[in-house]
Chain A
Amino acid sequence: MSPEVIQTVGSQAARLELREVTKIYQKRRRNTVALNRVSFAVEPGKIVALVGESGSGKTTIARIVTGIERPTSGEVSLGNWQVETLPTRRLREYRRFVQMVFQDPFSSLNPHNTVLQTLMRPLINHRHFSLSRAREQAFAIMDTVRLTPVEQFANKKPHQLSGGQRQRLVIGRAIAPAPQLMVADEPVSMLDVSIRADVLYLIDELRQRTGMSVLYITHDLLSARAVSDEVVVLYRGHVVERGAAQEVIRHAEHPYTRVLINAIPNPRRDMYPVLSRDPELVHITEAGSTLPSSQYPSEAGALKNVTGTSGVKTDVAVGCPFIQRCPYATSQCAEQTPVLQGATTHQVACWHTGEI
């Protein structure tokens, strides 16, 4: 990347913080607690990976951080922006600073726009560049995201690009407004294993050069380990383990984190430390595979329906959210909800941390 690009792409670093964020979706008969008092931060210029299986609440966090959705309670801030109370009219302005990259690069691109048009638009709309300056900058971004030779790619449309090239275009579009935060929701899960590294390391390189922070959402712990500084493990809307990527993945404590590690396809699995080959955990499958869907886990089984003083029914979690699948559960796990404990570099929410 040329120094000029770094300058113009460069953004101010900002800290993202979620404090006790709860999101409850109201349904006809009962409420779904999609997020339960989630707290974590992304320090300026860092990459934090948010991992968890389908339905754990990852996208809900992304929607709350980008202001598409408001939390039921709790606070979200990015630098000086207080997101959860932001008036709707200021959201547009805010969104310039928080850019999303989605899973499917195809559906998030306008099929009629060329690469050049796709990259020029945010420069004109958000940064009010003149046409010629936007054009020049768009070429610089193409160079940065390696859509080169640029002259050859400038006039291509999305269907003429490979999957990896399309995702690099989406990333280029995301950095164009000089965001403070990039939220990448499963950016490589639709790509071949052979091109994932390329796209992930591009994101990594960009945050190093521009200083933006990155919230990287994935269900793949391996890629989380490879590019992120910190990992936050989400299970049914609860943060069950968090800390430095190296710590969380090499010394996973929570049984659920170990299930995730065990599920990573790995031809060299035999090299795994004994830890994740725990025979009990190998047999934990997806929750509910033998259950009819009425019991399928989107609503935590440990939820008890309580009627509050206002007379409105709300589900309140009691006990560990992982209890139904946990081979180590005891009566304490059923009665009390474990909270995150431990040094800030590695915290676990499990009553039996260190014993299993």
Chain B
Amino acid sequence: MLEVKDLWVTYKSRHGKPVTAVRGVHITIPDNTFIGLVGESGCGKSTLGFAIARLLDGRRNQVAGSVVLNDVDLLKLDERELRALRWKKVSVVLQGGMNAFNPVHKIKQQFMDAMRAHGNFTVTEMKEKIALLLQHVQLDSEVMEMYPHELSGGMKQRAAIALSLVLDPELVILDEPTTALDVVVQHAIVDMLKDLQRRLKFSVLFISHDLGLVLEVAQRVMVMYAGEIVEERSTATLLKKSLHPYTQALLDCYVDPQAEDVRLAGIPGSPPDLSLPLRGCAFAPRCAKAFAACRDEKPETTFGGGGFVQCHLYTKQGVTTDES
């Protein structure tokens, strides 16, 4: 189980103002769970993923809070302890990671490098393991003898997912693993991932800006806005009743293409500048349900419905909500 408590991340740069991309995040990722993290571009999804995997340079950026994996606070580990943990406990497929394969090496080489760094395997053992992993992601074992440029985008993405599983991690963080691919390939990969996670029982943190896609694969969903998690609950509950107006607005962007009338919806306005301090609810300027308190006071977290929501509609007294 992974527990993130009051996590803050601020990027400091020599030019320009510091950007606080993660703002007091509390989350729990249980074992054997497929959890999705969604939100618009720039809301801090990758930053949160990086911080959990300790991929941010602590000297240049300010990271505060705790990230506890099985009683170990990852933020307190030194480099050596961290290296032992990577791949084995937590592995990451970075955004655009399918292009991270070294073009001059065969696919198997990149798997073997990771295996050699973390254990004693014979070449035969390694090849068997690679073949099994490729099979898991529905690739032919021949792929291990190929070079990255010989693979299509979808195949590369599958190979990248297989690589992240090479040392049987407990948690795999996948940052926009299908965004660059076309809908049909995306659908196929996501189906494969869902099936694989249910069979092998690791946990997945699936980062995407596409709520529709996340709802098709994830068991739980976290919705992020301006550096904060504004709603978290199970996919089934969210589909039945989402509470945060932002989640509702995101859901309204999806319509049935075969409906009688199809009118696309959007969310007017744009997210706030994360280099500035935020006042009240960060979503208030775009929120159709905002009222006075929303602009001035930061909403507290309200628990219920097997999750939580951060919105004044559910904390302020005297406000009628459509919850009853």
**A interface with B by C-beta (< 8 Å):** 53-54, 162-164, 192-198, 200-201, 219-223, 225-227, 249-250, 259-269, 271-273, 275-276, 285-286, 288-294, 296
Contact = CB atoms under 8 A, between A and B. Distances in A.
Given A54-B181, A222-B262, A264 B150 contact: no
A197 B183 contact: no
B184 A263 contact: yes
A244 to B, nearest CB: 13
B187 A262 contact: yes
A249 B258 CA distance: 6
A77 B304 CA distance: 62
30 contacts: A54-B153, A54-B182, A163-B41, A192-B40, A192-B41, A193-B210, A196-B253, A197-B264, A198-B266, A221-B257, A226-B262, A263-B184, A263-B186, A264-B257, A265-B216, A266-B257, A267-B239, A267-B251, A267-B254, A268-B254, A285-B184, A285-B185, A286-B189, A288-B155, A289-B154, A290-B139, A291-B140, A292-B150, A293-B150, A293-B151
Given A54-B182, A265-B216, 5 more contacts: A192-B41, A195-B267, A226-B262, A264-B212, A289-B155
User: What band does the interface of chain B fall in when counting residues whose beta carbon is under 8 Å from A?
Assistant: 35 or more
B257 A249 contact: yes
Interface in B207-250: 209-213, 215-216, 239, 249-250
A259 B259 CA distance: 17
A267 B215 contact: yes
Contacts, number: 144
Interface string B38-58: 001100000000000000000
B79 interface: no
A54 B152 CA distance: 10
Contacts of A163: 41
B257 A222 contact: yes
A291 B158 CA distance: 12
A196 B210 CA distance: 12
B266 to A, nearest CB: 4
B270 A162 contact: yes
Contact of B212 (A193, A226, A286): A193
Contacts of A260: 183-184
B154 A196 contact: no
A53 B215 contact: no
Contacts of A294: 150
B146 A293 contact: yes
Given A193-B250, A296-B152, A226 B185 contact: no
Contact of A289 (B146, B188, B212): B188
Given A223-B264, A293-B155, A265 B254 contact: yes
Contacts of A296: 152, 155
B191 interface: yes
Contacts of B256: 266, 268, 271-272
A44 B195 CA distance: 48
B102 interface: no
B293 interface: no
B315 interface: no
Contacts of B215: 265, 267
Given A197-B266, A285-B188, A290-B138, A266 B181 contact: no
B139 to A, nearest CB: 7
B211 A289 contact: no
Given A267-B211, A289-B139, A196 B266 contact: yes
Given A289-B158, A293-B151, A194 B267 contact: yes
Contacts of A54: 153, 181-182, 185
A294 B143 CA distance: 10
Given A196-B264, A261-B258, A269 B182 contact: no
Interface string B9-47: 000000000000000000000000000000011000000
A258 B165 CA distance: 33
Interface string B168-211: 00000000000001111111110110000000000000000111
Interface in B124-155: 138-140, 142-143, 146, 150-155
B255 interface: yes
A219 B181 CA distance: 10
Contacts of A162: 270
A342 B117 CA distance: 62
Nearest to B264: A197
Contacts of A263: 183-184, 186-187
A293 B185 contact: no
A289 B191 CA distance: 13
B116 interface: no
Nearest to A245: B262
A221 B263 CA distance: 13
B38 to A, nearest CB: 10
| A-B pairs, 9 with minimum CB distance | A265-B212, A285-B188, A197-B264, A197-B266, A263-B187, A286-B185, A194-B267, A265-B213, A222-B257
B301 to A, nearest CB: 23
Nearest to A262: B187
A290 B140 contact: yes
B265 interface: yes
A273 B138 CA distance: 29
A186 B154 CA distance: 19
Contact of A292 (B40, B143, B265): B143
A4 B210 CA distance: 40
Contacts of A221: 257
B142 A266 contact: no
B190 to A, nearest CB: 8
Nearest to B208: A265
A265 B262 CA distance: 15
Nearest to B263: A226
Contact of B270 (A164, A193, A266): A164
A327 to B, nearest CB: 15
Given A265-B213, A292-B146, A225 B158 contact: no
A279 to B, nearest CB: 13
Contacts of B192: 285
B169 to A, nearest CB: 23
A174 B285 CA distance: 31
